Each structure stands twice: as C-alpha cells, then as structure tokens.
Structure 1
Amino acid sequence: MRDRFLKNFFSLALCGGLATFPLTGCGPSSSSPGDSPQDSAGGGKTKTSVNDPAADKPLSIDSFGENPNLDRNDTAGGERFPRVEGMQPIAESPPMDGTEEPAAEQPPEWTAEELQELGIQKFESERLRLLADQVSENERGQYEALPSVLDAFFAWVEEEYPQFLDGAAGPAWQWTGYVMQEPALFRQADMLPEDIADLTHGKDQGRQFWIVEQPTDYYRRHLILHEATHCLMNERFHQWPVWYLEGMAELVACHHWNENGQASFAVTPGNEHTTGGFGRLALIRSETEAGRFQTLDDVMRLNFGNFYPHKTSYAWSWACCYFLSHHPLTAEPFHRLAGIRTNPEFDRTLEQILQQDRTRLNLDWAAFAGSLIPGFDFPRMLTTPPTGSESQGPWTLQVERSWQASPFQVKQGETFSVTASGQFSLASQPEPWTSEPWGISLDYSDGRPLGELQLAIVPEGNTPAHGKALTRTQPVGGKWQGKATDSGRLYFRINDRANNWANNAGEVKIEFQTGSAAAGSDAN
C-alpha cells in the first residue's frame, strides 16, 4: 500500500504541487473550511495554502479563539449529534451493560524514510508521537518541545485529575497526534480518517488527535492540549454533558510554557494567552455588552443539539468550569465530579453542589463573567455578601475589591439618593493616582472614569433578574438620586479593571436616603 501511495503521491505532486494536494485527481481540494462537521474545540484561524489566492492577504488574528464554525455533525433535519469516541448523548441513555468500547484503530506505521519522502516529520517522547508537515527551521524548536509538554501534561493530570486516567495510566499510554498544514496529504497517507477529513480546527478519536496548523505557537499547543484531554476523558464510557466535556478541555489547556521546559496547566489566562489566540474573554465581554449574558443555568442547558453551532459555547463553558473549580463554595466538590461518569448521578451531584448557596453563586458568577479581562484577580471579583445589619446610617465601601453588599434596600418606584465622599488611591504602579468618588479622567474602564462609584440593585431570591443584576450598573460619582426600577439591595463598587483591585487602597463613605426628592435618572 505504501509503495502504491508513494507512486500516486509523486504523480500528484508533479501534477498539482504538494501545497494543494487534492483528495482525488489533480484539481483543487473540494474540502471547504466553512463546513466542519467533525470539528472540535477550534480557536484560531488556519494558515492558508501557498496556492490559495487568500494567501497574499495579511493574516488577521483578531478573532483567535472565537470558533467561527464548530458544528460536529450537521444533518439534513437540522439536528446535530456528537461523534465522540466512547460516549453517546445523555438523552439516549445507552445501556450500562459493562461492555467496553471497541479499541480504536491503530495509526499506520511509516518508516523515517517514508515520512521524509512524504514531507512529514516525526517528534516523539514517552507520551506523544507527533507527525507534522511543512515544519520550517524557525518552527522546529517549538515542535521539538511539544512532546515534552505532553509528557509534563500527562504527569500533571495524574496528579490533579487521576479520575480522567482511570484505567489509562501506565507506561503503555501514548498519544499519536497530527499537526496538519495540508490535511489532504495526511488523508492520502491513511493518517486522517475520511469522516473527519474536512476539519478546520481539531478532532480526537481514541488515542489519536488531529489539528489544523494554527497561526501562533501558543494556540498550537493549546489546541493540542485540548484534544489530548478529550482523548483521556473519552478513554472510558461516560455520560458527561457537553459543557463539561468542552469546558474542562479548555480549562486545562490554558497553560504557561517557557523554553526552559517549565509548564503549568489550568492557569488564569493573561495577555500571553489573548495575544496567542485565546479569545474566550473578549467573546464573553462582547456578548455581555450586547445583552446576551448567560447565567450558570443557561450554560448548563447547553447540550449536543445546541452547543456546536454557536461560537460562544466554548467561551461560556470554559468560564463555567473555571468559576466552579475556583469558587470557595464549589472548588472541592466540583473537582470530584470528574470521577462521576454516569447520569443521573452527575446531574444530581452537581445540583447538590449548586444548592449550597445558589443565590450567592449566581451573583458571584455575574460579577465574574461580567468583568473578565486578562490576568483577572478571581478572589477580588467575587461579591461581599450582606453583613446582616440593616442600618440606614453611613456605610463604608472598600476600594480593593469588586461588588459589595450595602445595608441599604429599596422598593420598586421608590425615590432614593446616594452621597459619597472620601479619597483613595488607584493603580500603585508606576505611582498611585488619588481619586474621589467621581473618578479620574486620566484613565477609563468600560467607557467610564476609573475610580467612579457605581451601584446596582440586586433583587432578592434566585431569579433571572437577580442573576443578571450586576451586569447592569448605574454611575453614581459623588452624588446621585433617582427612582428604583426594581426592589432589592444596593451593591456598590468603584469602577476598575478586574486585574487591578489589589493595587488600590482606601475607602468611600456612602450615605443613603429615601423620600420624595425630585426624581433623577432611573437606577438600572
């Protein structure tokens, strides 16, 4: 077979050139990047073929991580179902008869000489065998490091998420991965299954994964780690919901790596990630600003029928898994969910986790997801709950954290006023700025002056209005009065970026009054 392939390979290369290696014949490839029925996890724009007319256009990287097309399996009737090795949609309730999924087809073996003739290079370690085409000399160092990154990742998973490795750990485990600039070449070499040959980002199957080459070194590693995680999670039967499958893969794939070989995983995304192609933060902010904020319940309602058509699904699922794995109420029990592979036990356990204090979790989720920025300070983003005091006297706001519950409550339609005073410092580097509740005009965040006092009315109870209240804020400054558009408790914060709270110092004194004062703007 190899001899026949190599003969056809060189015939096709002479006819059409390697850069546009066709699936059949000498004409252009019939695959379309716009249709990706088996695609998974994507994130970046792919490099164009050297014979593609679009190759002469400047490469834009503004929308890395935004997953423009993520359908796994379009059908004529409009329904979409996953093709994930070792699992089925939860709704189908497959029988639990104890049988194992059939072993995945083993990747073909090629000698070093044959791979060289194909223009494919191999990079290998204990845990990864990686095959890639068109690796330039400038990129070689990055590719040579990838196997060691996967070795470190496997060791990290053994320590942090041993549940994913149940039955898979040991010296025999090894991924086979493919990084493809020309997927048609891998298809002709029987390295890329026909049913996933049109992928535009990544796909896993058994212990193999395939990704289309990405424009940045970071996102290449990220996508490899994402698909490698799927291989581990799908090694044994499970009924995990899709938001958990994809959210956890995104969570652990967010990583730091340096050329000294040091790697860390499941990190908080910073500037290196967003410039490298991780677009989840910007997507969530833009969706929130457009009025399409998703509550925790909204995210957990994502399923195999509605997840993949929408480019925001990965972003919200990552945020959900990050939030639950870091929140002090949920971090430990959410981590244990990785060991629960069947329903209804998974859903029942998750509900128990959320019911510890669902009202607080929904409010903290809004404070978190509504303020995402690279390098965010998660603990300081969470709300400060009410103290129990209902005093109407002056109340003090701390400026080194986000939303804080005041003792003040209002009724819908009631006129109330807020007066604020005090000085505080912002942004200690390179030197602190002194601000008052009106904020400063030297810098702005979300279109408002840095340091400006803001309020939100948070209704009582676990309602949709409660869960989204902190995404609708009212500028206060030094003084404001108006009518309450809802009944609830007043929360306050100064306007600042979520990665800067720790650099602030000081407090604001807030006085509150109700009565028949002339109405100003409505409090939203």
Structure 2
Amino acid sequence: TKEDVPYWGRIKIIKDQVAEKKGLMIQEIMNFGSDAQLRLDAYAWSWAACSFLDTHPAFQKTFREHLKNIGDSSPEFSLDLVKAYGEQWFQVRQQWQVFVMNIEYGFDIARESIDVVEVRPLELAAEVIPVRADRGWQSTGLRVTAGMKLAITATGRFVIHREESENQPQGIPWESEAGGITLRYHRGQPLGKLLIALDEPQQLGETGLSNYGPVGAGGDIMIPSDGVLYFRVNDSPSELAANEGTLQVTVQQITD
C-alpha cells in the first residue's frame, strides 16, 4: 500500500548499509547531531532505533519513560538513557545487532526478543533444553569453554509454516523436525533447521549471534571460543507467529 512505501524505503537503506559493512551500533545513532535528520540514511537509522526500543517488550518501558525528556537535544539525553538501562544495556546492544542484521518488513521484534537466562557452567551431566519454534534466538544459559567437545541431539516435531488454503482458514501446517524441510530455504539453510551460536551476554563488540551454524538433528561439535550457547530454528523474523511447537535439545560434554 501507499502507507507501506516509507517503511520499505527505510528498511532498504539499512539493509544496504549493513550489506556494505556500514551498519551502526545503537550508541552511534544516539550520538547523531541535531542536523543528522537532514540525511535520509540518518533518518532511517533513527527510525529503526526508536521502533526497536519502543516495541521490544523488555526495553519499551524504560524508553517511553525517557521520552518525557524528548525536548532535551543535548548529549545528556542519550547518556541518561544508557544509564537508565543500566546492566540491561548489554542486552540492548546484543539484540539491536540481531535486529539490524536481519531486518526485513514485518520483523517480529517481540518474538525475536531474547529472554534473560541465568548463566551457569555446563557440567558433565546432560542438559535438556526446550527450543520454541515461534521465537528467535534462545539462550540456554549454559556457559562453555574453548576446546570443549559437545554431543547435541534434537528431538520433536513442530509447525514451521502455514500454507494458505481456501479450505483451511488457519492454513495447511508444514511440520518439521530439527533437520528442517527442503521445500523452502531461509538464508541458505532449510526452513526449520536447528541453528546454534555462541555469544557473550556482556560483549562490547559484535555479537556472536551474527556468526551461527547449522546443527540440525544433532552431532558432535567442538567449541571454538568461550561463551554461552544459543539455539533457534531457522525461519524468517517476520513469519515466527505462524510457528508452533518445541524441540527438545540435549547437550552433553564428551570427555573421552
């Protein structure tokens, strides 16, 4: 529709700049000068930052409370917002990067939000982690170290897509297991395939969630660096609401 055109334009600007390795951290946007809005790209990035903070279920309240000071154009406005988030600012940085690196029309910020999980070391006993199909990256809370070898097994079935049908108002469900389905691909991997990533929740640079890999139904993997394990099923951030079901992912150290 005509109303959709501005959103497509802003998203395209961000996607193009991310592809050119010119993506911005959220603090860079907050440091824009008062004349930055005269530039179309700066306006697009500012729109994205406000949309992200105002829609994210964990960040919305603090952001809206801070908008009471919207008339303050000094650098203190941005500094005070960072202070208001406190330790949560690490989560803002992490999830902002996931947002801009995967941004598309209809990106479901709420379903892509990452819940905070208490972090603890992975012990020798097997851990069973539920991974929801209707959410983005999900922290296991399990800290692993470089050189650790893990056996991963994923079981269960879930709905990964609903095909439009005149006879079924809710659509025809596409069921998948952790290996995904090859009827459709997203970012080079089968739709529904289980993905794995490592991240440091209090990282100061690029999030590890930008560097993920397929694990599918499971296998043995070597951990390349210290971090916390994250899982998700492969799908577009704009189509998570159609999904239903949970995988059970078992993680166990291999000690021999």
* TM bin (shorter chain): 0.7 to 0.9
Q: What TM-score results when the alignment is normalised by the length of structure 2? A: 0.81
Shift in Å, 1:435: 0.7
Residue 359 (1) aligns with residue 90 (2):
yes
Residue 459 (1) aligns with residue 200 (2):
yes
> Could you tell me whether the CA contact under 8 Å between 1:368 and 1:382 is conserved in 2?
no
Within 5 A, what are the aligned runs for 1:171-320? 218=2, 256=3, 272-273=4-5, 278-303=8-33, 312-320=41-49
* Percentage of identical aligned residues: 26
Shift in Å, 1:285: 3.2
Residue 423 (1) aligns with residue 157 (2):
yes
Find the residue that maps to 2:48 and give its secondary structure. helix
Larger proportion of strand: 2
Shift in Å, 1:362: 1.7
Find the residue that maps to 1:316 and give its secondary structure. helix
How many residues were matched structurally? Answer: 244
Shift in Å, 1:313: 3.1
What is the alpha-carbon distance in structure 1 between the residues aligned to residue 18 and residue 194 of structure 2?
A: 21
Find the residue that maps to 1:505 and give its secondary structure. coil
Residue 472 (1) aligns with residue 208 (2):
no
> Could you tell me whether the CA contact under 8 Å between 1:337 and 1:346 is conserved in 2?
no
What is the alpha-carbon distance in structure 2 between the residues aligned to residue 348 and residue 407 of structure 1?
A: 30
- Of 56, 68, 84, the residue aligned with 1:327 is 56
Shift in Å, 1:495: 0.7
Residue 350 (1) aligns with residue 81 (2):
yes
> Could you tell me whether the CA contact under 8 Å between 1:358 and 1:462 is conserved in 2?
no
Q: 1:433 to 1:313 in 2, by over 3 A?
A: same
Amino acid at match of 1:472: N
- Of 373, 376, 396, the residue aligned with 2:107 is 376
Structure 1: 5+ residue runs without aligned partners? 1-216, 219-255, 257-271, 518-524
- Of 141, 146, 159, the residue aligned with 1:412 is 146
User: 1:147 is matched with which residue?
Assistant: none
> Could you tell me whether the CA contact under 8 Å between 1:458 and 1:490 is conserved in 2?
yes
Shift in Å, 1:450: 0.8
Q: 1:310 to 1:443 in 2, by over 3 A?
A: farther
> Could you tell me whether the CA contact under 8 Å between 1:373 and 1:499 is conserved in 2?
yes
Find the residue that maps to 1:416 and give its secondary structure. strand
Find the residue that maps to 1:470 and give its secondary structure. helix
What is the alpha-carbon distance in structure 2 between the residues aligned to residue 302 and residue 469 of structure 1?
A: 26
Structure 2: 5+ residue runs without aligned partners? 165-171
> Could you tell me whether the CA contact under 8 Å between 2:62 and 2:85 is conserved in 1?
no
Shift in Å, 1:291: 4.1
User: 2:131 is matched with which residue?
Assistant: 397
Amino acid at match of 1:316: W
What is the alpha-carbon distance in structure 1 between the residues aligned to residue 106 and residue 14 of structure 2?
A: 15
User: 1:18 is matched with which residue?
Assistant: none
Higher relative contact order (CA 8 A, sep 6+): 2
> Could you tell me whether the CA contact under 8 Å between 1:329 and 1:356 is conserved in 2?
no
Cα deviation digits, residues 316-350 of structure 1 (max 9, x gap): 22211111222234434433245442535423422
What is the alpha-carbon distance in structure 1 between the residues aligned to residue 19 and residue 209 of structure 2?
A: 12
Find the residue that maps to 1:464 and give its secondary structure. coil
Residue 386 (1) aligns with residue 112 (2):
no
Q: 1:313 to 1:476 in 2, by over 3 A?
A: farther
Cα deviation digits, residues 442-495 of structure 1 (max 9, x gap): 111122211011111011424114xx2222211111124333232110111101
Q: What TM-score results when the alignment is normalised by the length of structure 1? A: 0.42
Cα deviation digits, residues 495-517 of structure 1 (max 9, x gap): 11112111111111112133367
Find the residue that maps to 1:357 and give its secondary structure. helix
Shift in Å, 1:308: 7.7
What is the alpha-carbon distance in structure 2 between the residues aligned to residue 345 and residue 302 of structure 1?
A: 13
> Could you tell me whether the CA contact under 8 Å between 2:53 and 2:59 is conserved in 1?
yes
User: 1:341 is matched with which residue?
Assistant: 72
CA RMSD between the two structures: 2.9
> Could you tell me whether the CA contact under 8 Å between 1:367 and 1:382 is conserved in 2?
no
Structure number with bigger Rg = 1
Amino acid at match of 2:153: T
> Could you tell me whether the CA contact under 8 Å between 1:399 and 1:501 is conserved in 2?
yes
Find the residue that maps to 1:299 and give its secondary structure. helix
Find the residue that maps to 1:417 and give its secondary structure. strand
What is the alpha-carbon distance in structure 1 between the residues aligned to residue 29 and residue 225 of structure 2?
A: 25
Shift in Å, 1:284: 2.7
Q: 1:344 to 1:500 in 2, by over 3 A?
A: closer
Cα deviation digits, residues 375-425 of structure 1 (max 9, x gap): 222210111221556664221111111111113221123333322121111
Find the residue that maps to 1:278 and give its secondary structure. helix
What is the alpha-carbon distance in structure 1 between the residues aligned to residue 151 and residue 13 of structure 2?
A: 35
What is the alpha-carbon distance in structure 2 between the residues aligned to residue 287 and residue 472 of structure 1?
A: 18
Shift in Å, 1:296: 1.5
Shift in Å, 1:371: 2.3
Q: 1:388 to 1:516 in 2, by over 3 A?
A: closer
